[in-house]
Amino acid sequence: MTNQDTQPTDPNAENLVQAPTTQNEGGQSTMLSAKRIFALACIFLVATAGWFMLGAASAERNHRQSYTLGHSVTQLWGGPMAQSAPQFSTAVPGSNARRTVLPISSTVAADLQLEHRRKGLIWYPTYSVKFSGEYCLQNSYPTAQTVRLFFPLPNGDATYDDVTAILGKKSLAIQQGTQTGVYELAQLKAGETQRLNVAYKSRGMQRWQYQPTGSERRVKNLDVIVTTNFANIDFIANSLSPMSKETNESGSENSGGKKLHWQASDLLTSQPIGVIMPDRINPGPLTTRVSFFAPVGLLFFFVLVTALGLLHKVAIHPMHYLFVAGGFFAFHLLFAYLVDVVNVHLAFLIAAAVAVGLVNSYLRAALGQQWPWKIAAAGLLFYLVLFSYSFFLNGITGLAITIGSVVTLAVLMRLTAQLDWSTVFGRSAKHS
Residue 110 has pLDDT above 80, yes or no: yes
At 42, the pLDDT band (50, 70, 90 cuts) reads very high
Rounded to the nearest 10 degrees, the angle between the axes of helix 397-415 and helix 283-311 is: 10
Q: What is the pLDDT of residues 233-277, one digit of tens each?
A: 888 888 898 988 887 665 455 567 889 999 999 889 889 999 999
Closest CA to 146 of 192, 102, 90: 90
Q: Which CATH class is domain 81-276?
A: mainly beta
Q: Which of 47, 57, 49 is nearest to 330 (CA)?
A: 47
Q: Which helix (H) or strand (E) holds 36?
A: helix 34-77
Phi and psi torsions of 348, nearest 5°: -65, -45
Distance in angstroms (rounded) separating the CA atoms of residues 172 and 175: 9
Helix (H) or strand (E) holding 299: helix 283-311
pLDDT digits (tens, 9 = 90+) for 160-200: 888 889 988 888 877 765 567 888 888 888 888 889 999 99
CB atoms closer than 10 angstroms to residue 215: 8
Check residues 31 and 325 and name the one with the higher pLDDT. Answer: 325
Contact 137, 104 (CB under 8 A): yes
- Count of other CB atoms within 10 angstroms of residue 107: 17
Q: What is the mean pLDDT of the chain?
A: 83
pTM above 0.85, yes or no: no
350 burial type by CB count under 10 A (0-12 exposed, 13-18 middle, 19+ buried): middle
Per-residue buried b or exposed e for 148-157, using 16+ beta carbons within 10 Å of the residue's own CB: ebbbbbbbee
Domains of the chain by residue range: 22-62+282-424, 81-276
